Amino acid sequence: MTFRLLALAGLAACFASCSGPATGPGNSLSPDEWGHRPGPKGFGTVIIDAGHGGKDPGAVSHGVREKDLALDTAKRLQRYLSGKVRTVLMRSGDEFIDLDVRASRASGKSGAILVSLHYNSSGAGIRGPETYYWRVDSHGLATRIQRGMVAVSPSESGNRGMVRRRLRLTRNPDVPCVLAEIGYLSNASEARLCADPVYREKMAAALAKAILDQQANGDAGTGALPKPIYAPPSRPTDPAGS
């Protein structure tokens, strides 16, 4: 409890000091606690986070495991980005890494962005890609990633769009960060698609194009920025979806 109060006091202090010019648009390649700024352009590093791993399989449905598909897609994405931007894989094998550890590993890195890759699970009738973000400086990249995935996804899957949600991997890193849910493994036909390496290769190519478009153009053409929201870091004890 004491730690929590101290953390909140720290956030209150940051609320005061982080709203100054140091977080202005000219610094969008520097780490920033809140990300209340336009999205980055010209970043040098892409941290690719394959969701889940080790003891945490993520979604398991229709004979496939999220952790396997996420890692495979992360490696495909890395190959597409290779030679164009520095890449770092959060995990390169079947390894469990706590979400808080992932967030802290991605933080403090100038000129870096974080892209977390997942496959989703819900009711059998729900399908289609969706993209989660929280920070203002992640909106443009999220827009590009969602557009890219929808262009690959068959039209009957639909477009579940972008979701602004405070998650440990969308709120807590101090660099622009986006979480892509590539498809629903709980939907039989989408699970079949996602299990197909050819489909994952197309998705990886689309994700790479979205990232490189953001690197070249910043937020241009991605619409109005969302309003800043002041909220504390996401904690494992927070209610789901908060």
Among 58, 129, 140, 218, binds Zn ion (CB under 5 A): 58
* Candidate ranges 85-93, 111-119, 127-135, 233-241; the one touching Zn ion (CB under 5 A): 111-119
> What does the alpha-carbon distance between residue 96 and residue 241 come to, in Å, rounded to a whole number?
22
> What does the alpha-carbon distance between residue 172 and residue 217 come to, in Å, rounded to a whole number?
25
Residue with Cβ nearer Zn ion (51 or 173): 51
Burial of 26 (0-12, 13-18, 19+ CB in 10 A): exposed
Residue with Cβ nearer Zn ion (23 or 172): 172
Q: Does 129 bind Zn ion (CB under 5 A)?
A: no
- Binding residues for Zn ion, how many (CB under 5 A)? 3
Taking alpha carbons only, the member of 66, 65, 70 closest to residue 50 is: 70
CB of 136 to Zn ion, least distance (A): 24
CB of 215 to Zn ion, least distance (A): 25
Residue with Cβ nearer Zn ion (58 or 128): 58
Taking alpha carbons only, the member of 124, 129, 170 closest to residue 146 is: 129
Among 91, 118, 166, 171, binds Zn ion (CB under 5 A): 118
Residue with Cβ nearer Zn ion (83 or 93): 93
> What does the alpha-carbon distance between residue 171 and residue 104 come to, in Å, rounded to a whole number?
11
- Binding to Zn ion (CB under 5 A): which residues in 168-227? none
Q: Does 51 bind Zn ion (CB under 5 A)?
A: yes
Contact 113/86 with Cβ under 8 angstroms? Answer: no
Residue with Cβ nearer Zn ion (37 or 118): 118
Locate 218 and state its tokens.
Answer: 């910043």
* Candidate ranges 1-9, 31-39, 55-63, 106-114; the one touching Zn ion (CB under 5 A): 55-63
Locate 232 and state its tokens.
Answer: 């504390």
> What does the alpha-carbon distance between residue 182 and residue 205 come to, in Å, rounded to a whole number?
13
The contact set with Zn ion (CB under 5 A) reads 51, 58, 118
